[in-house]
Each structure stands twice: as structure tokens, then as C-alpha cells.
Amino acid sequence: MKDLKSYIRTVPDFPADGIMFRDITTLYGNPAALKHAVDLLFGHFRNDRVQMVAGIEARGFVIGGALACRLGAGFVPIRKKGKLPHQAVEESYTLEYGEATLEMHLDAFGAGDRVLLVDDLIATGGTADAAVSLIDHLGGDVVGAGFIVDLPDLGGAAKLRDRCEKVVSLVSFEGD
């Protein structure tokens, strides 16, 4: 298996000039690369007694669902505001260009459940931090956070380590 980084497409100037967008849909589209990514994340969290995997919309659903199956855990979607059909708790956070809100069902898991947070990429950490707040609000125990891609120069993974001691990324793109 080639390095996972080689399966990630870089799209210059998307969604704005000067941004190097890391597109993992090319990794997801390759069965061997997707399996390898799930296997690697599984290896990091297999002994953490994960009961629920919380995936952030939308690319986190793919890796989160697959990882939940591998861990023998349930899956919880963390969605953008207005997308969940039942009572939900919400958390707003600041983006570079405005504000966004995430939601999770109020009955997504029980208090004290061991929850693993996953997403495709961590950049500034605002979305992941809001997701941890949602999990905390419902009394979940965030046992870790897993990402395929880290953009370490933006500081998100380091920031998240203040709230979650086990933060794992499979690929790092420095300088972006």
C-alpha cells in the first residue's frame, strides 16, 4: 500500500484563492486505501473500549461509520443545524468567515458512554471543538479524536489536545 497521502487530491484555490483544499474523496474512492485508513484508526483506538463513534457531517460519516463497525460500536451523526428530525442539542462556533452550528440528537448516547470523535480533516479545530462540547453536554466521555488529515500549521489538533488527550491523524500537510 502506498502512503495514504498519495491518495489525497490537492485542489488549489478552493474554496477561495490561496487555499490548498485536501480532497479525501479520492481516498474514499479507493477500496484498499479506505480499508487501510480504517485499519490504521482502528489500531489506535481498539483498546479504548469505544461504545459510540461520533462522525462530523459529512465526510466524517464515511470514516466514522466504517470505524464504528470495526470497533463494534454505535454511530452518532453530528450534523449541521436543521438536519436532524428529533430533539437535538446544538453548539455554535466561529469560522474564519462567519458562524456555524452543529447539532446532535439529545438521545444519541447515554451519560458516561465512551465516545470517539472522527472527521476527515482537522484544520483550526473549531468544528471538532464544538463537537466535543456537544458530546460533553450529553455527558459522554470523549476517549479520543481521529482524523485522516491534519493541517498542523493551523493548530487545531494541538488545541483539541487541551480537551481530549488522544488525538490521532494519519496524514499531515505542513505549510497549509
Active site residue 114: no
> Among the options 49, 57, 91, 96, which is catalytic?
96
| Distances from the Cα of 83 to the Cα of 35, 77, 79, 117, 162, angstroms | 29, 10, 6, 19, 29
Dihedral class, residue 125 (left if φ above 0, else alpha if ψ from -120 to 50, else beta): left
Active site residue 174: no
List of residues 6+ apart from 119 with CB closer than 8 A:
55, 56, 59, 60, 63, 64, 127, 128, 131, 147
Spatial contact of 117 and 135, defined as CB atoms under 8 Å apart: yes
> Among the options 22, 46, 57, 59, which is catalytic?
59
Which residues belong to the active site? 59, 96
